[in-house]
A and B are shown apart, each in its own frame.
Chain A
Amino acid sequence: MRNVLRKPYSPEPMEPSELRNYFMSDLFIPELKATTKDGVLKEMAAWLEAQKRVFRTALVYDLLHKREGLGSTGIGGGIAIPHCRTIAVEKLTVLCALKRDGVEYGAPDKKPVKIFFMVVAPPHDVTYLVFLGKLVEVVNEKQLKRAIFEVKTFAEFITLIAGAA
């Protein structure tokens, strides 16, 4: 109930330790099969459906595709954070995926993207923007970025995130 009572877009900062609570072991893809930007979005959206986080892949894919049409969500340094709000999810959901060879994503630094954080939240979720801000802050750390490129399992990944937070 606490979240419902908070004002929308509350400036309340997120505790660094809270970040790790949003990552789930079933929402981690150690190696993506897709080799294109669209393919990555489709594969990740399909994963959300397979893990019963959304009812239809198309609902999330369509929105993410439209968001990418406004400008790439690649933030540079081999990281992309495709994100959107939809009533298709029950709560803020984060899917992390890796592609060791990288995918051309139209990032501002033109570098291929190797780490993807797909963030999908329902319209009423007040932690969405706070979470995005904190995530960017944490993953932009050079050492962490390099370490994430090497992880193979969710356990290794979450240890890194927890350590950084």
Chain B
Amino acid sequence: MHKLLQTLVMLQDLECMIAEVSSKDVKNVEKKMGLKIKGEEHLQEARDRLEQSLPPAVLSKYHKLMKRFGRAVVPVVGNNCMGCYVSVPKRLNVREIGNRELRNCERCGMFLYWV
């Protein structure tokens, strides 16, 4: 798997977790489970570290996509980009091949990740 793609997936997942831990619905379920959440600032620090490890051009594209679509990395499921549902080239539709390089959807521009 391409190292930058792995970092981008981790970064987006981390942003999702940061948003979740401050969500009321999540807090309610966690409370029902008897769980307490504290130390959210550590997640922010981890996100900053991940961002710093990305080349400026990739990070800039990531931020642009996040601002426009609310997400920057989307899975490819059943040969379709889950960002805009357009088909991706069939020759890439094997996750070992697709994830070998950092690729963007030709239509929506989002980073593609083969699940």
Chain A residues proximal to chain B, CB less than 8 Å:
9, 55-56, 58-59, 62-63, 66-67, 69-73, 75-76, 81, 84-90, 108, 122-123, 129, 132-133, 136
Contacts and interface: CB of A to CB of B under 8 A. Distances in A.
A87 B74 contact: yes
Contact of A55 (B25, B77, B114): B114
Interface residues of B, number: 36
Interface string B1-41: 10000100110111011001100011001001111111110
Contact of B1 (A55, A62, A71, A76): A55
B35 A87 contact: no
A59 B32 contact: no
B36 A71 contact: yes
B17 A85 contact: yes
Contacts of B1: 55-56
A144 B74 CA distance: 39
B103 interface: no
B9 A87 contact: yes
A158 to B, nearest CB: 22
B9 A59 contact: yes
A60 B113 CA distance: 15
A88 B20 contact: no
Given A59-B10, A87-B74, A90-B75, A9 B25 contact: yes
Contacts of B20: 85
A129 B26 contact: yes
A74 to B, nearest CB: 8
A70 B113 contact: no
A62 B95 CA distance: 21
Contacts of B17: 63, 66-67, 84-85
B73 interface: yes
B37 A87 contact: no
B84 interface: no
Contact of B12 (A87, A132, A133): A87
